[in-house]
Amino acid sequence: MKGDSIIVEEHHRKAAAGVAPVILPAIRGGDGRFTLSVAGQSGAGKSETALAIAQALEQAGVHSVIFQQDDYFVHPPRSNDAARRADISWVGTGEVRLDLMDEHLRLFLEGSTRIEKPLVDYAADRIGSEELEPGGAQVAIADGTYTTALEHVQCRVFIDLDYHDTRAHREKRRRDDSE
């Protein structure tokens, strides 16, 4: 997501240091590309942990790309917040284009060299697109609240924190007034 600030802290690196050695044998022992998801409550540090995992894998010589769920919402951020406030039943997997995200992971696994994906511009509150070129990436990391529901994921990481545990991070991030 364009305009998002991702700050990897020591606890994200520590989590990544626990994940990377567990998945490296599957990555190296496989016959192609590998996918994993990083999911959890809003403010749990999914994007930071995904980036920390990518960095840990890079140190082991494994290149990664990250697909952020934030880019796959049906509506851009402020519009989505308004839709949630107008109808609480909008909150959930239906507000995200998980089918498209899953399709992009499938394309990655099949060796695609170019994937046109959505790109949210947070400040402009609009959704454009960008061309992702995975190149030599061996791993695709999908991060987002609902990414455990994706079909084309080979390993799932879940950050087990609740609303109270994540409050400080959400307030520090202050993406919108609702936080």
Q: Chain-wide mean pLDDT for the chain?
A: 90
As a whole number of angstroms, the distance between CA 91 and CA 97 comes to 13
Global pTM value? 0.88
The band of 30, judged by pLDDT with boundaries at 50, 70 and 90, is: confident
Instruction: For tokens 């190149």, name the residue.
Output: 135
Average pLDDT of span 42-49:
89
Query: Where do the domains of the chain lie, and which CATH numbers do they carry?
Result: 10-173 (3.40.50.300)
Instruction: Write down the pLDDT at residue 59.
Output: 96
Return the C-alpha torsion angle 33, 39, 44, 48, nearest 10: 10
The band of 54, judged by pLDDT with boundaries at 50, 70 and 90, is: very high
User: How far from each other are the two terminal CA atoms of the chain, in whole angstroms?
Assistant: 18
Average pLDDT of span 69-79:
94
Q: What is the pLDDT of residues 91-136, one digit of tens each?
A: 999 999 999 999 999 999 999 999 999 999 988 999 999 999 998 9
Which helix (DSSP H) or strand (DSSP E) does residue 48 occupy? helix 46-59
Average pLDDT of span 37-42:
92
Q: What is the pLDDT of residues 132-160, one digit of tens each?
A: 999 899 999 999 999 999 999 999 999 98
Q: How far lies 86's CA from each of 80, 81, 124, 177, in Å?
A: 10, 9, 21, 16
Instruction: Write down the pLDDT at residue 178.
Output: 47
Check if the beta carbon of residue 3 is closer than 8 Å to that of residue 121.
Answer: yes
